[in-house]
A = this chain, B = another copy of it.
Amino acid sequence: MTRRCRVTRGRLAVPALIRAVLDPAAGAVVTFLGTTRNTNAGRRVTRLEYEAFVPMAEAEMERLAKAAARRWPIRRVAMAHRIGRVPVGEASVGIAVSAGHRREAFEACHWLIDRLKEIVPIWKREHFRGGQVWIGPQQGGPPPRRRAARAVRRPR
């Protein structure tokens, strides 16, 4: 199983991601793109900003790709995660999987994005109208950053 996992800056190169998994023995390519949505939890999102522990994030993505290849008969995997600012409508993450048949390509791709969100060391900060906040339960208690906490409560 061939794999190519990268953390990158700037727009995700989706055609290159797909080209990386094309394979004469594959009948199916499934691609997932995660894009910045303009709303989240009732907030009007203006952009996301991603930070990664780059070498470990790439190594963890490689491990996931290998694990997927043990679970499903897939041919190739390509994963890319963008860091820095990601405006609304642009992709922060791309995962492409090729396989002989479509079921395993769909299942492996879905599993990879689920697992990526759980374990790959990447963090997003959401910038919205009136503030910003780290996403994920960063704290057991209430949000620590006064500006963000205040802004969440600001009526629109």
Using a CB–CB cutoff of 8 Å, the interface residues on chain A facing chain B are: 14-15, 18, 22-39, 88-89, 91, 98, 100, 102, 105-106, 109-110, 113
Contact = CB atoms under 8 A, between A and B. Distances in A.
Given A24-B88, A38-B25, A110-B106, A18 B30 contact: no
A24 B91 contact: no
Contacts of A22: 35, 89
Given A30-B30, A102-B110, A106-B106, A37 B25 contact: yes
25 contacts: A14-B18, A15-B15, A18-B33, A23-B89, A24-B89, A26-B35, A26-B37, A27-B35, A27-B37, A28-B32, A28-B34, A28-B35, A29-B32, A29-B91, A30-B31, A30-B33, A31-B31, A31-B33, A32-B102, A32-B106, A34-B102, A35-B98, A102-B113, A106-B106, A106-B109
A147 to B, nearest CB: 25
Say how many copies of this protein the assembly contains: 2
Nearest to A38: B24
Contacts of A91: 29
A134 to B, nearest CB: 18
